[in-house]
Each structure stands twice: as structure tokens, then as C-alpha cells.
Amino acid sequence: MPKIKKILAPTLTIGAIGVVFGDIGTSPLYALQTVFSKSGGRVELTRTNVYGIVSLIIWAIILVVSVKFIGCIMKADNEGEGGIMALIALVRNSKLRRHYKWIFITLGLVGVSLFYGDSAITPAISVLSAVEGLKVVAPHLNYAVVPLTLLFLVVLFWFQRYGTSVIGWVFGPLMLVWFIVIGIGGLLQIWHYPDILGTLLPWTAISFFIHQPFIAFISLTAVVLAITGVEALYADMGHFGREPIARAWFWVVFPALVLCYMGEGALITNAPSLAGSILVQLFPAYLRVGVVIIATIAALIASQAVISGVFSLTSQAVRLRLLPRMLIRHTSIYVTGQIYMPFINFLLFTLVIALVIGFGSSTKLAGAYGIAVSGTIAVDTVLFLVVMRTQWRKSVALISLAGAAFLVVDLLFVASNLQKLLHGGLLPVAIGCLVFILFDTWLKGERIIDAERQNKEKPLNEFIDKLHNGPDIKRIPGAAVYIGHHSDYTPLALNATVSELHELPEKVAIVTVETSNAAHVPADKRAILDTLDYNDGITHLKLSYGYHDTVNIPKALESLRGLSPELNFDPYQASYFISQSSIAQSSRHNMYGWQKALYRMMQRSALNASDYYKLPIDNTEVMQTLIKL
């Protein structure tokens, strides 16, 4: 495996440039010009303001992306997986008291929900802002901006089925060109106006906050747009790994962004009457058409960064039983975590198209952008501090110092972006609230159903004792696998087979699948076998999978055939029995009525168990059990 990773290192670095950094990499299309627009708070375009804001952007990138995320938070991976869901898993696996653990997990789910809200806006604003460059080179084509944006988005979402490995190969070199182009564009302006280099000094940003505190505070609503892709960057760590992402950032992305923002600042300071895309106007007129084309491609890649991040977080949520089972397709045989989720792809596509049609311009969308991601970043910081204490055992003094350094910046971004609630900011918050309701409903419903199911199931040891001490049960040729929901309880399908048919196959495997808080469980540590104290062909097998592993029961049984005589059968010829709950809504007050209806709808839409466990369809029987909710 290390040799494969070494061989793939250059490919993964290019792939990271093509998939991970799209969102951050296209922020220069709209971030700086947004602050001087109506949605940015109508900041006056003066030299002091421009230089101060550029310096704030540069140091926000340094502190939040380079220091906090790549330097610190990305070290808090869960078996190689990143993102806020990985932090939640680490907290769940900690030794915190149950009450505190519940608080931090709930906070983490709020952050995840906000990320979904922001993810719907990123593709819309990125592609719109790029295509709007047409208005600079060909003002008469203004009417074509929205239709072209919709066309490009349709192609992008259709392309998802081929996976991020293919997309990285295709888009990686193109995105590398983009960063070279914007870096050169910034250098052209820096060459003419070298005093912009003063924005690299931290004192420029600090002085701006001291002397213009209100304007600096207002401008943070635009500054945060320069770091909006940082959560997707962290979530995509499982796709490419921390090292390729860090190499791509420090060698290519970071220098190009700094040069570009300084170039934009120099341009608008010395030509304040500029209108339209600032980035496109960094270049001579004869190059602008090409820049618009490259910008459009880069904007599509920005959308890709968020889409792949959403896939990753949703997959982790499904494995952790925070959402219903969904179809997940793995698109790479070499790199784990590269996936495609058809339902999520369709849902996100629908939201993005609606936003493009509803808002119609990047300036209007900017009013809704940033508030959700600033909240998610703040939640990331809090959970990271918890991990520092519970997992890494760092001192309270060090955690307090890190918290003071990181949270002050995060909370300033959150406070500044609250003003956007009246200018479209409610939209991502509303989407986030809806996602949180789905999380909360599914968790409550599953907890109630699990309790009801256990009331119907008998303890496994009691069932086995009764089986041997009760009436004789006819044993018929063949092998059967009964899928259990709880390791210490008897599957309802097995109870029904014995009580109603009074017979059992010669070999019976009771298989319980559990999801670990780890991202991956090695195959040689996956199975725990219990022969149940009797040598009669009945055994209990507990399979543990990481929340990013693919569950495949027949494949696992095939690898365990020599482990015991009870498992010595062909798993692809055996019969499989699944106990499936049929939910009936009751008048009990354990959930709100609307939540019960929502849970039933979510359960009906979940991927069926036979597909989830990769069971042979022709050999699988599903037994329905009525459970009241």
C-alpha cells in the first residue's frame, strides 16, 4: 500500500488541485468586488479601504487555511477521513461524559447542516460569476449569462457519475493553468503598482481594524468569501490524503491567490471607475476572452470541490446511522473515499438550478453567501479543541491559547455575516435547518424503533437454550444466514422460522453488522465469532465495518469459510433472511406527529437491506414485522 501511495503521489497532488481547491481558487472572481457592492455593505472605494481589505483577505487565508486547517485541524483525521463528520466521530469515540458528548455531537450536526446550506450556493455563485465575465468582453451577450450557466451546471452534475478520480485527471491540469493565469494576472498589476506589497504585512490589516473598525467589521462579510472552500477542503481529505493537499496548497494555490488578490487591489485602487469582473480586467483586452473561458472552467471545478465534499459527508452520515441508507458507488479501485451518490447529486443539482434561476446574478447571491460557512468553520474549531483535549491529551493552557487565537477570528466572521440574514442569508440557514431536522428525526426514529424491536426479539442466549431444551426442531440440508440488528438479540426472522416452520437448515449463521467510529476496519480485525456453546451448526458472527467501508456480507463470509465448521458453506448459494420493520404510526407521544410521518417517508425511501449488504437477490427473503412508532 505505501508503494501504491508513493506511485500515486503526483497524481493525487494534481487531482487535489483539480477537485479540492476549486472553491477557494475561484473566490477572486467575486470576493473583493463584493465588498464594494450593495450586498457587501457599500464600503467606499478608497486606497485605505482597498489595501486594508486586501490585507485582511491575505491574512484570513494564512490564519484560517494555512495555519488552522492545513497546519492543525487536518491532523485530526479519523483513519484518514476528514471533514466535520470525522470530528463528530472522534468526539463520539471519546471518554467525555454522556451529557457533554451529546452537546458537542449536536453542535457538530448543526455545523454539518450549515455546510449543506452553503454547498447549494457555491456552484451557483461560482459559475455565475465566471460567466458574467462575458459582460466585460461582450456587453451585448448579457442575456446569455443565465442560460450558459445552467448549461454548464447540467454538464458538471452529469459528469459526477464518473467519479472524482476521473474528474481530477481531467480538471487537475486545467486548474493548474488557472492558478498560473491568476498569479500572472496579479503580477502584471503588482509590477505597475508595487506599493500593494505592503498588504503582505500583518500591520496593514491590524491598522485597518484599529483606525476603521466599523468598515473593517463590515468588510469581513466579503473577506470570508475568500475562504469559503475550506470545509470542502477538509472533507475531501479522505479522497486524496493530507500530504497531497498540503503540497498543492503551499506550492501552487496559496502563492497564486495572494498574487491575484494583491493585483486586484492594485487595479481597483488606481482605476476606481472599473465596472464588471475585476479579475478579467487584470489582463489586456486581447486576452480577456481566453480568461473568461478559463474562469468558467475553474468555476465548474469550484462546484466540484463542494459536490465531492457533500458526497463524502453524506456517506459518513449514512454509515454512522445519522441518515437512511443510500446508494453509494465507489469510483476508484486504488483510493478509498472516491464515491458518487446519485440521489444527493440529483438533490443538489435541483437546488443549484433553482438558485441560479431565482437570483440570476452573483451579486444577488453574494448576499446569501458566507453566513453558513462561517458558522461551520466555528463549529470545526470547537470540535477540534475537544479532540485536542480528549484524544491528544493537550494541556488546558495550550487549548485555551489555541481557542483564543482561532475562535476570535471565527466569531468575528460569524458576527459580521449576521447582517446578511436580511439580504438572502436566511436561505442557507433555512436549508441547514431542514437538514438538521432530517438528522434529528432519523436519530429519534431509529432509537425508538431499536427499542421496540428489542422488545419483540428474545435474548440470543435464551433463544439458543430454549432451542436445545424444547421440542425437537427438524434440520434440513443447506445453509442460512440471518441478518440481526442487535448482537445480543435473536433476529425476528429466525424466531419466526423456528416458531412457525419448526425447522432450521443444518448450518445457520446469525450475522450482526456494526459500524465503528473509525473510518476503516482492517479485514483481519473485522469478524468476531461466537459458536454459542453448542456444536450444532449454529454460530453468531459480528462484523465490524468503518463508516467509510463498503459492507459486503457474502464477501466477508467467503473469507471466513475456514474459520469454523459452521461457516464452511458457499455464501453465494446460502439463503439469506432479513427482518424488515413495517412502521405503523401510533398515538404515543414519543415524537411529534409530523416527525413520525417524516421518519416513515425517510424509511420508505432508504436503500433496501439486500442491496446495502450486497446479498444475492435470488437467495434473499425479507420478513416484515409491524412496529408501532
Please give the share of the chain, as a percent, with pLDDT higher than 90: 34
Given a contact cutoff of 8 angstroms between Cβ atoms, the answer to whether 28 and 279 are in contact is yes
For residue 452, what pLDDT is reported? 83
CA dist list (Å): 286 to 280, 282, 289, 452: 11, 12, 7, 71
* Confidence tier at 604 by pLDDT (50, 70, 90): confident
Of the candidates 74, 17, 42, the one whose C-alpha atom is nearest the C-alpha of residue 381 is 74
For residue 363, what pLDDT is reported? 73
Q: Please, how many CA atoms are within 13 Å of residue 544, restricted to the half-sphere of its CB?
A: 13
Given a contact cutoff of 8 angstroms between Cβ atoms, the answer to whether 21 and 305 are in contact is yes
* Confidence tier at 472 by pLDDT (50, 70, 90): confident
Residue 57 belongs to what H/E stretch?
helix 47-60
For residue 16, what pLDDT is reported? 81
What confidence tens digit (pLDDT) does each residue in 302-319 have?
Answer: 787 778 778 877 887 887
Q: Considering the domain 2-424, what is its CATH architecture?
A: Up-down Bundle (1.20)
For residue 2, what pLDDT is reported? 44
CA distance 294 to 288: 10
Task: List the grid coordinates of 416.
Answer: 459580521
Average pLDDT of the segment spanning 521-531: 84
Higher pLDDT residue, 451 or 184? 184
CA distance 343 to 488: 34
CA distance 75 to 241: 11
Q: Report the range of poorest mean pLDDT among 132-141, 254-263, 331-340.
A: 331-340
| Count of other CB atoms within 10 angstroms of residue 392 | 11
What confidence tens digit (pLDDT) does each residue in 111-147 have?
Answer: 989 888 888 888 888 888 888 888 777 777 778 889 9
Please give the share of the chain, as a percent, with pLDDT higher than 70: 93
- DSSP reduced 3-state for 322: coil
For residue 556, what pLDDT is reported? 92
- DSSP reduced 3-state for 395: coil
**pLDDT at position 40 over 70:** no
Buried b (16+ CB within 10 A) or exposed e, 24-56: bbbbbbbbbbbbbbebbbebeeeeebbbbbbbb
For residue 18, what pLDDT is reported? 77
Structure pTM? 0.80
- DSSP reduced 3-state for 541: strand
* Delimiting residues of CATH 1.20.1740 domain(s) in the chain: 2-424
Higher pLDDT residue, 555 or 233? 555
**pLDDT at position 470 over 80:** no
Higher pLDDT residue, 594 or 235? 594
Of the candidates 474, 490, 470, 472, the one whose C-alpha atom is nearest the C-alpha of residue 482 is 490
Average pLDDT of the segment spanning 2-23: 69
Higher pLDDT residue, 244 or 584? 244
Q: Which residues contact 71 (CB under 8 A, 6 or more apart)?
A: none
For residue 4, what pLDDT is reported? 42
**pLDDT at position 219 over 70:** yes
CA distance 558 to 91: 34
